[in-house]
């Protein structure tokens, strides 16, 4: 709704500006726009705009919506009449009339939008002189700042989602954010690279395998990122188990490699667990205990090891959010100063 109001206001002012041209300075106008619909009146919106003296440039022309067209444009003295049609998300049709003198403007626009009949009333008064080119520059700079902040916020949000997703493997219905036209589509390759790297590590595989088994047991949805990144945990396990044997990672073998654990137990740990005192005296007691590890134990150890790193990342994310908030407020202040709303 707000976008429709702004579009109509901008186009109405641009059209009215063509009806009366004055020599001298660019003109600074204060505009008040009120919307009435179904017997209710919305609070009026005030803004300031600069109209170029020769019409060569009108800063409000940049606000025109590419999906909106004006037709039936007629000028009679200092009164302009026109029709407008917008398509797409903010579709509407309507007719408008604006009368302008050297120091005042007044007009109405009757429209049909979102299944409702609405009337927009626009009133303006000239309050001084201005520099249309300078206003455009200031507005462009402020808008560029806001766009930069928006892009930074999106990158930060996506980075936070990627961090939590790489950690969990993909809780919740977040896949659409990384698919075509999703908010984080551009970061999907980076997500998958991190996912594959984590799935190829002992700790990462353990975390994903345990989370998958927990989700199956509880009937929860899990693993959208595993699916999106074409990671097959069952195919990952044999290679990790062979590596674990070579690197003597007996805790991983005990938790996730039953065949390798059985072979090592038979060869190295026969009789282990029958006599506590004898077990303590065995030179390979640590290995034999590790071969009896549970999968969940390996994940628990991984979680503790990463807790401090997670806190550091969260603190950095909070700092970035505060910086973006300050930049956004600065950009909005520029716009308010430029347009007076």
Indicate whether 120 pLDDT > 60: yes
**What percentage of the chain exceeds 90 in pLDDT?**
23
Q: Which two tokens stand for residue 56?
A: 């060569």
77-112 confidence digits (pLDDT tens): 889 888 988 888 778 899 999 998 889 999 999 988
Q: What pLDDT does 137 receive?
A: 84
Could you report the per-residue pLDDT of 55-66, keeping only the tens digit for each?
A: 543 434 444 556
Other residues' Cβ atoms within 10 Å of the Cβ of residue 291: 22
Among the listed residues 229, 226, 260, the one whose alpha carbon sits nearest the alpha carbon of residue 244: 260
pLDDT (tens digit, 9 = 90+) per residue, 170-225?
886 678 888 888 889 999 999 999 999 999 999 999 999 999 999 999 988 888 99
Weakest-pLDDT range from 52-56, 76-80, 322-326: 52-56
Task: Determine the Cα–Cα distance for residues 42 and 37; give it in Å rounded to an integer.
Answer: 8
Whole-model pTM: value is 0.57
C-alpha distances (whole Å) from 215 to each of 39, 79, 198, 220, 297 are: 53, 69, 19, 5, 17
Average pLDDT of 306-323? Answer: 67
User: Predicted confidence band at 277 (pLDDT cuts at 50, 70, 90)?
Assistant: low
Query: Does 1.10.472 match the CATH number of domain 2-130?
Result: no
Q: Are strands 104-113 and 116-130 parallel, antiparallel or unpaired?
A: antiparallel
Selected residue with higher pLDDT from 255 and 23: 255
Burial class (CB in 10 A: 0-12, 13-18, 19+), 179: exposed
Cα 28–chain centre separation:
36
Cite the residue boundaries of each domain of the chain with CATH code 2.40.160.
2-130
Widest pairwise Cα distance in the chain: 110
């Amino acid at each position: 709704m707000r976008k429709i109001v702004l579009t109509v206001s901008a186009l109405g002012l641009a059209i009215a500006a063509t009806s009366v041209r004055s020599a001298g300075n660019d003109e600074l106008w204060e505009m008040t726009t009120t919307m009435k619909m179904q017997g209710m009146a919305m609070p009026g919106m005030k803004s300031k705009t600069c109209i170029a003296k020769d019409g060569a440039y009108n800063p409000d022309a940049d606000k025109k919506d590419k999906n909106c067209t004006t037709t039936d444009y007629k000028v009679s003295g200092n009164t302009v009449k026109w029709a407008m049609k917008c398509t797409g998300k903010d579709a509407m049709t309507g007719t408008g009339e604006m009368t302008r003198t050297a120091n005042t403007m007044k007009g109405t626009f009757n429209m049909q939008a979102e299944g409702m009949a609405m009337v927009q009333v626009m009133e303006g008064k000239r309050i001084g002189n201005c520099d249309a080119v300078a206003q455009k520059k200031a507005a462009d700079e402020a808008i560029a700042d806001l766009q930069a902040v928006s892009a930074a916020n999106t990158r930060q949000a996506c980075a936070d989602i990627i961090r939590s997703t790489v950690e969990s493997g993909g809780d919740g219905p977040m896949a659409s954010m990384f698919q075509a036209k999703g908010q984080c589509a551009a970061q999907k390759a980076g997500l998958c690279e991190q996912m594959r790297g984590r799935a190829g590590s002992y700790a990462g595989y353990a975390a994903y395998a345990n989370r998958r088994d927990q989700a199956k047991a509880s009937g929860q949805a899990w693993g959208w990122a595993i699916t999106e990144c074409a990671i097959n945990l069952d195919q990952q396990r044999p290679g990790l188990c062979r590596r674990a044997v070579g690197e003597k990672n007996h805790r991983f073998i005990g938790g996730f490699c039953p065949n390798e654990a059985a072979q090592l137990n038979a060869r190295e740990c026969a009789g282990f667990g029958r006599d506590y005192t004898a077990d303590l005296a065995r030179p390979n007691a640590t290995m034999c205990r590790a071969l009896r590890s549970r999968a969940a134990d390996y994940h628990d150890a991984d979680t503790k090891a990463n807790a401090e790193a997670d806190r550091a990342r969260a603190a950095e994310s909070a700092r970035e959010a505060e910086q973006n908030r300050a930049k956004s407020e600065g950009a909005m202040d520029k716009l308010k100063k430029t347009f007076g709303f």
